[in-house]
Structure 1
């Protein structure tokens, strides 16, 4: 009756082993490390960078625990913070010693990495990320100026409207060409000939589906007014917030923090939390970072070619910029370009990474707005066969990332070729697309949390969980005896699995998350209490011990399932609609409900079956005192008075079974 098949016991053992594997890394803690990453788009970090770091450390007689290239950065782990700081200085001097101090090619930052054995990394057995309140760091609250984003959109629409009307074949006659102006957030198109108003309205409706157009007489003219549709207005504001969040994500990546939190708060605010970062000024500077491009013609005159030599003077109408490694391989270290800017990042409508099947190379496809497209068309038409350059400006420094010959007249779409990898083209497209903020932001709140406060929060949180677990253990073991021990073991497995799942999915643990763990333990034991009390009721009713155990788990399951589903619905609502600390609490809470249903029912019954399942003539179970209604304390039948499982149930009015 109370026996599990072998596969269920195997499943229990696997659950415990996997739980241990992914929980143990959290016990090792973190070790000081130095992280080397690219500080500019054109800097490549790879295995050769890792080798270079090893050579620099060896030359300085510094022995790291290991040096490895992971993802897009190099990590070197050390045994102490003193060694870490010394190594940072050595690596920074070796990699950035000859570079411009204001624009170094590499970012060399202090960081913390897991101290767990390296073989665990291959199994993705990593410790949980710690949030700002547990690790310390910097918290920013930024206000996004959505009105500025809307103004920019309206100005773009006005320019595109003028271009559309000018280039329409039916409106070439200047005498009937409408005039376009702005009135607040509306676009006014004044048609001077009433019979052309319908034609103009049709052209605008087809060209701008996101704009609501309406016509009205204005004296002898017809005024067509366009306003963004409500859905388009909301979409524009959402895109501005998302683009700013993406831009911030790109910018804080250089700080070396592994778990930055960037999320929207309300309709027009963004929260930025950088755990482990104590330099507020550096963080503010990085958040204010900008990246954009300019398209200019290359000066191919004799003076321009001579000025490519860094020791030569640059002509007054030219600028000299360093080339990216890819361009330098073909054209040398510098390119001299004309000062006149054909188009800039403000004229860029979109940038997407792609692959050119003809050349088998990675490219970035660019799309310009109406203003940029017109400038590209006019310039390329007059300069067939000449060189055009694309210059990327980042941190105030320009670098030529593309030099190409104009083969034909260009329109609003063209591409950048010669990218070194798919990752580089994706990064460039993302940087160009979101390098500039869609809307300006203002710092309205700034908080720095020290690491000592985070350590104190961790200690208090762990103490609350530990003392709560001990209190539950003492009560359950005293009140339910062996079944209390089994319930406590199941609760321990629940905690083990919960921490393992949080580590596996790399959830950021915050102080509310620790509170959710403590709450989960208190709620999880309720299921065991329901089962144990149900078994007691069955024993009071005269059921045999084996029958009482089966009925206790079977009949309590419906109640346990219902209560957990309703709690899960509440937790899901917090997860869906909450943010920040509330969302962190909800994630741990919901995962805790799922693990508690497994441990409190499936796992605990497995332990009970393992202990009692093979006893064919079980006469009693250790589940604490079972009181019969009307019985006096101490009037408790002894185990020898209880019949065997295979005996018939007692007749009505006979004495019920009572067991300890």
Structure 2
């Protein structure tokens, strides 16, 4: 009686050992560091750049070690976390806008643990701090593009109807149409009423001319602004998900601003580059003899070697389609040249536009235009001697490829001419995450520390340790040998909980610590129910071995019912909660599963090893 088969002991031992190794990385605290990368994937960090960064740290008197660079990224480990922000700022000033300098936490997990896929838990914003961005959507640009499109539509209508002597001017977001007769004005008014209902217009007469002034309605302006912000919000969330940030916050603030908070990420430089990058694609035809001078634009190639060889092509101003029409983008390789490419899939509208335009322009060349808005940081000192930080965006437009149209294109085609696989991967990520409806600029960027402060967190951890120690002492004193078994199972439960959170990449937050404390209580509660039942059986003169078996078997149903209902609550909290509530729910749910294993199977295995298969006259309980 009260003996497990050998395979069950072996299974428990294997689970505990595996859990120990996957929980082990959490004892290795990361080093504060400054990470340096190029603003684009084609720009790699060199040894000269690293020397310059090291010199900046020496001039500042900041202690550092482990300066290294690999795969185009540089990393400098610092002795003190308090030096990170000063080091980041000065290195950024020294290297210039072509580099992204970000604070980071460099892992110190040994390679042999990383080799088996073990890594530390991710920490939430309240424990590890993180990066805070405040971005402003350039809604005036959206409205300006809308006015430009509306003006173009009106001019097309005037040419189609062969209206002579009609002039169209745009100034201060107002389209002024001047006609020579009231009949002409009435014809244009009818068109506006039927085709451009978003416009508000008024009629007047001046110097013998019949004027019609039109502008976007306030309701439509608000609708366009809301669409731009909402689309950018969705795109940013997709980009953050692509990066793999744990429990990020991306939400709207005010009319045209977006807040992004990224807690405890390992690659802040890449996150900053992706989040801050406003990029889009346009597909345009190369200009020919029929293209008007006002509809021509000249841009350089993105690839410097191609630029030196072929110079800057002239292309048409009006795009065939844009990145907004892209529904999917995946990296691939050209089977003939083995060069990287991006395989594009467009929506029905984009596919239709592409097919119609390319069908009628076979043997002409089509350019893939890459438009990127780079954010520049400017620091000035105001009249009070305080530093002011302002951000501005500078558009950089270049041509990725210029290829001859061999046949009518449809929804799916490919983009070639990319510098390397990294450039192809970044472009695919940006397109796959969705196009931005409008450019965005940084209004604020800062690294924030734990929301409750390091001292309060230390006190919280200390209180957990004290509470856990008191529970262990109580169990050992009150239940003696059985209390020792419960304490061993409780310690194992903590190891397994941390291991599972590490394996699944769960994020530990301050409310998550509260969930761990609750798990400890629930695990002990299960053992208390079992031990109390054993005491009752002994009080009824039941033999010790029978009392042990009955205690575990009878208490199991009660423990299972209580834990299942709590587990359901944890799932509901995770489903409908946000932020810190989810952090609590995650640790609670995982803790329930691990405590069921350790409090029932683990404790019973230890008790079986102590008393099973032997003649026992008295139990130490």
TM range (shorter): 0.5 to 0.7
1:124 counterpart SS class? coil
Could you report, residue by residue, the CA deviation over 1:352-383 in whole angstroms, capped at 9, with x for unpaired residues? 22647753653332537758965885588457
User: For 1:284 and 1:84, how far apart are their aligned partners in 2?
Assistant: 16
Aligned with 1:352 (options 326, 329, 332): 329
Contact 1:31–1:113, Cα closer than 8 Å, also in 2: yes
**Residue 478 of structure 1: aligned partner:** 477
Q: Aligned-residue CA RMSD in angstroms?
A: 5.1
Contact 2:130–2:263, Cα closer than 8 Å, also in 1: yes
Shift of 1:539: 0.4
**Residue 618 of structure 1: aligned partner:** 616
**Residue 384 of structure 2: aligned partner:** none
Q: 1:50 to 1:81 in 2, by over 3 A?
A: farther
Q: 1:448 to 1:417 in 2, by over 3 A?
A: closer
Could you report, residue by residue, the CA deviation over 1:162-214 in whole angstroms, capped at 9, with x for unpaired residues? xxxxxxxxxxxxxxx9x9636679xxxxxxxxxxxxxxxxxxxxxxxxxxxxx
Could you report, residue by residue, the CA deviation over 1:60-106 in whole angstroms, capped at 9, with x for unpaired residues? 9999547475xx7746363624998999799979xx95xxx44x1x4
Shift of 1:5: 2.4
Contact 1:321–1:334, Cα closer than 8 Å, also in 2: no
Pairs within 5 Å for 1:87-98? none
Q: 1:322 to 1:445 in 2, by over 3 A?
A: closer
Contact 1:512–1:582, Cα closer than 8 Å, also in 2: yes
User: For 2:445 and 2:47, how far apart are their aligned partners in 1?
Assistant: 39
User: For 2:576 and 2:233, how far apart are their aligned partners in 1?
Assistant: 18
- Output the TM-score relative to the length of structure 1: 0.64
Aligned with 2:118 (options 125, 132, 139): 125
Contact 1:68–1:75, Cα closer than 8 Å, also in 2: yes
**Residue 181 of structure 1: aligned partner:** 195
1:520 counterpart SS class? helix
User: For 1:498 and 1:54, how far apart are their aligned partners in 2?
Assistant: 40
Aligned with 1:292 (options 257, 280, 284): 280
Shift of 1:259: 4.4
Q: 1:373 to 1:42 in 2, by over 3 A?
A: farther
Could you report, residue by residue, the CA deviation over 1:587-619 in whole angstroms, capped at 9, with x for unpaired residues? 11000000000110101111111111242x210
Shift of 1:563: 0.9
1:78 counterpart SS class? strand
Q: 1:389 to 1:290 in 2, by over 3 A?
A: closer
Pairs within 5 Å for 1:169-248? 181=195, 242-247=234-239
User: For 1:13 and 1:131, how far apart are their aligned partners in 2?
Assistant: 32
Contact 1:295–1:341, Cα closer than 8 Å, also in 2: no
Q: 1:494 to 1:184 in 2, by over 3 A?
A: farther
Shift of 1:478: 2.0
Pairs within 5 Å for 1:523-534? 523-534=522-533
1:365 counterpart SS class? strand
Contact 2:295–2:316, Cα closer than 8 Å, also in 1: no
2:313 counterpart SS class? strand
Could you report, residue by residue, the CA deviation over 1:416-464 in whole angstroms, capped at 9, with x for unpaired residues? 1244666644431331354643489999999974359442243123112
Aligned length: 514
Gaps of 5+ in 2: 153-190, 200-226, 375-394
1:243 counterpart SS class? helix
Q: 1:276 to 1:486 in 2, by over 3 A?
A: closer
Pairs within 5 Å for 1:489-638? 489-615=488-614, 617-623=615-621
Shift of 1:292: 1.4
Gaps of 5+ in 1: 160-176, 186-234, 302-314, 624-660
**Residue 3 of structure 2: aligned partner:** 3
Superposition misfits of 4+ residues, deviation over 6 angstroms: 50-63, 82-93, 140-146, 235-240, 268-271, 282-286, 439-448
User: For 1:56 and 1:447, how far apart are their aligned partners in 2?
Assistant: 24
User: For 1:440 and 1:385, how far apart are their aligned partners in 2?
Assistant: 31
Shift of 1:521: 0.6
Contact 2:37–2:74, Cα closer than 8 Å, also in 1: no
- Output the TM-score relative to the length of structure 2: 0.68
User: For 2:347 and 2:127, how far apart are their aligned partners in 1?
Assistant: 46
Could you report, residue by residue, the CA deviation over 1:525-563 in whole angstroms, capped at 9, with x for unpaired residues? 110001100100110111111111111111111111111
Pairs within 5 Å for 1:394-405? 394-395=373-374, 396-405=395-404
1:7 counterpart SS class? helix
Pairs within 5 Å for 1:59-458? 64-65=65-66, 67=68, 69=70, 74=73, 76=75, 78=77, 80-81=79-80, 101-102=96-97, 104=98, 106-138=99-131, 181=195, 242-247=234-239, 259=246, 261-262=248-249, 272-275=260-263, 289-296=277-284, 318-324=297-303, 328=305, 330=306, 332=308, 335-338=311-314, 340-343=316-319, 346=322, 348-350=324-326, 351-353=328-330, 355=332, 359=336, 362-365=341-344, 367=346, 370=349, 374=353, 377-378=356-357, 381=360, 384-386=363-365, 388-395=367-374, 396-408=395-407, 414-419=413-418, 424-434=423-433, 436-438=435-437, 449-451=448-450, 453-458=452-457
